[in-house]
Amino acid sequence: SIFERINEVEDKIGSFVYLDKENALEQAKKVDEKIEKGIELKPLEGIPVAIKDNMVSNGEPTTASSKILSNYKGIYDATVVKLIKDEGMILIGKTNMDEFAMGSTTKTSFIKESKNPWDLERVPGGSSGGSATAVAAQEVILTLGSDTGGSIRQPAAFCGVVGLKPTYGRVSRYGLIAFGSSLDQIGPFGKTVEDVAMFMNVIAKHDEMDTTSLNIETPDYTKNLNEDIKGLKIGIPKEYFIDGMDNEVKKAIENAIEEYKKMGAEIVEISLLHTEYAPSTYYIIAPAEASSNLARFDGIRYGYRTENYKDIKDLYIKTRSEGFGDEVKRRIMIGTYVLSAGYYDAYYKQAQKVRRLIKNDFDKAFKNVDVILTPATPNTAFKLTDKKSPVEMYLEDVFTISANLAGIPGIVIPTGKNKNGLPIGMQLLGKHFDETTLLKVANNFE
């Protein structure tokens, strides 16, 4: 079983924060029995899967890798969990992440460190680091992550796997512990584009429990994968080739562009004018929403509660001071600041306007092109010991966060390795709800 592989590598990699071997094996046995009896299985029935630890599952720990939820167990299934179970897939456990999905390294996890399988001294990326490493280290073939500003795509790039952030509203967020509700989206990791497409067929369903879930039909995401891309227009935004980006990353993307030309795609230079404002816009909006979403962790309703307190106010303060890590506190403080009466107009409102400009850039670009090709990250995976300031870390997200601000889908696929053997990722961005084209273009590259 896959647990042999997990036993072999998990101590080194640290993908999981929770594993339920017994239940998994029991379920696998039932699937075996079905096979013996000749009962037809659903496409992904019996396939093991792991999910990021910010998705609630009934009766199981769901911690968001935070101390404040360290003793919390889910009391219902997130919609994606329900869909996984309905398909007969086997949920084997939960994967490590940056606390409340805030970060790009998985190092802000309260529980443990995860390591990049290609170089154990390097970060796997984040915040869905454990979901990326679990696939890269071949512990499990499919996982789910969540992506608020790149948390599926950046770790996919660093670990050399495929990661898809679907269109906002495509996959239900019901049961996902909210970070930035207008940005968050659940999506799959896999080794191949086809695996990811198959998994999308399971999780991309309309859900009445999520008011932002769009009621549109689920296409068969595997159907068009092998169509060619002759005449398809691929936009290359000049703003995504910035000073200071890694030369080998740039070369790999240029090679990919050449490959696509050979396949008959038309390469079009485009401009996404407001790209440089994306990080500052995101780092106002995401913390603003986070500060509001995280208000519910008060030590009363669920999760960790401080031991000694004088009164209710003291209980709140101590619980939250002890329960949240530094990065989460930083975001709560930034968020409450930009939403406060005196600063709302100067920061939050302004950021909302720039967000619209960023979305308009994409709308305009997609009038002329079918997909947009960019690097996924400015660099390959950095060292676990690298000390980056919060702002340096935030700037790492420059290529991924615009997709969340605009609500469009984005996929990252491996495009090769640098001279040290570290994976390089390329990103394809698509029109709203056009995951089908994204997957096709990605699959043609593989």
Residues in region 286-305 near ligand GLN by CB under 6 A: 286
Closest CA relative to residue 185, chosen from 169, 209, 202, 204: 169
101/142 with CB nearer ligand GLN: 101
127/172 with CB nearer ligand GLN: 127
Taking CB positions, which residue lies at the least distance from ligand GLN? 151
Minimal distance in Å, beta carbon 168 to ligand GLN?
13
Q: Of 48, 88, 93, 103, which lies in the binding site for ligand GLN, with binding defined by CB under 6 A?
A: 103
What order do you get walking across the sheet with 233-237 strand by strand?
16-19, 90-95, 48-52, 142-147, 185-190, 162-165, 410-417, 423-430, 371-375, 233-237, 266-270
128/319 with CB nearer ligand GLN: 128
Q: Of 89, 102, 249, 278, which lies in the binding site for ligand GLN, with binding defined by CB under 6 A?
A: 102
Minimal distance in Å, beta carbon 331 to ligand GLN?
8
384: Cα separation from own chain's centroid = 20
Site string for ligand GLN, 127-146 (x = CB under 6 A): x-------------------
The DSSP bridge partners found for residue 94 are: 18, 51
- Residue 147 binds ligand GLN (CB under 6 A): yes
Which letter, b or e, does each residue of 432-445 get, where b requires 16 or more Cβ atoms within 10 Å of its Cβ? bbbbbbbbbbbbbb
187/237 with CB nearer ligand GLN: 187
16-19 vs 90-95, strand pairing mode = antiparallel
- Residue 101 binds ligand GLN (CB under 6 A): yes
Helix intervals (H) in 225-374 = 247-262, 278-293, 312-323, 326-339, 350-365
Site string for ligand GLN, 211-240 (x = CB under 6 A): ------------------------------
CA distance linking residue 257 with residue 426, whole number of Å:
10
Q: Indicate the burial class of 288 (C-beta count within 10 angstroms; 0-12, 13-18, 19 or more).
A: buried
- Residue 190 binds ligand GLN (CB under 6 A): no
Site string for ligand GLN, 161-180 (x = CB under 6 A): ------------------x-
Neighbours of 320 (CB within 10 A): 20
146/443 with CB nearer ligand GLN: 146
- Residue 407 binds ligand GLN (CB under 6 A): no
Minimal distance in Å, beta carbon 354 to ligand GLN?
17
Largest CA distance in the chain: 71
CA distance linking residue 130 with residue 52, whole number of Å:
7
Asked about 383 being catalytic, the answer comes back as no
Q: Of 104, 172, 374, 402, which lies in the binding site for ligand GLN, with binding defined by CB under 6 A?
A: 104
Q: How many residues bind ligand GLN (CB under 6 A)?
A: 13
Minimal distance in Å, beta carbon 143 to ligand GLN?
15
CA distance linking residue 443 with residue 234, whole number of Å:
15
Q: Which of 57, 65, 109, 127 is catalytic?
A: 127
Q: Of 129, 150, 187, 335, which lies in the binding site for ligand GLN, with binding defined by CB under 6 A?
A: 150
Asked about 402 being catalytic, the answer comes back as no
Closest CA relative to residue 246, chosen from 123, 153, 378, 122: 378
- Residue 149 binds ligand GLN (CB under 6 A): yes
Residues in the chain: 446
Asked about 52 being catalytic, the answer comes back as yes
| Residues noted as catalytic | 52, 127, 151
Residues that bind ligand GLN (CB under 6 A): 101-104, 127, 147-151, 179, 286, 397
